[in-house]
Structure 1
Amino acid sequence: MFKPEETGGGILADEMGMGKTLSILALVIRTLNAAHSWATSNETSEGGTSQTPRCNRRSRATLIVASSDLMINEWFQELDK
C-alpha cells in the first residue's frame, strides 16, 4: 500500500502577485490521489514509535489559513477558473 512521506507541513509566504494561490491549488490537486489512497488504507499507526500519535480516523483534508474574507474570495475565484 502507498505510504506518503511524513511531513510537518509548510508555509508559502511569497510577495503579493507571485502566484501563491495557484501554486497551493496545484499542489492540492496533484496530491489528491495519494491522499485518497492514504485515507482509505487499513493501516493504523499502532506499530509506530511512542512519539507517533494513534490515528483512529484518517482524513485527506488540507487546511488552508487565509488572513481575511478578501483572501477567501480570491481562493474561490481561483477555484472557479
Structure 2
Amino acid sequence: MLSMKGKRKLKYIVSLARTYQPYTFFQARFDDTNTRGLIQELSMEERRMFGFNGRDIDWEHYIVNVHLPGLKRELFRGRFS
C-alpha cells in the first residue's frame, strides 16, 4: 500500500502522463507562414534586433535537454513532502 506521499506522487505522474499523452506520438507539421510573413514586414534593423527564426530552434535539443529535465526537477524537488 502506498503512503500519502507516494499516492500524491503517483497522482502527479498520472496527471503528467495524461497531459502529454496527445503529444507522445504526435506526427504533424506546423506551419509558420504567418510568423515568417510578420518577420518580412520588419525593417532590417528590427530583424537584427529581434533575431527570430523558427527554423533555428533545435526542438530535439529543447525537449531532451531543457523541457524534460525541467519536468524531472519539478517532480523530484520535494513538492510531495
TM-score bracket, normalised by the shorter chain, equals 0.3 to 0.5
Radius of gyration: which is bigger? 2
Higher relative contact order (CA 8 A, sep 6+): 2
Going by fraction, where is helix more abundant, 1 or 2?
2
Instruction: Give TM-score scaled by structure 2 length.
Output: 0.33
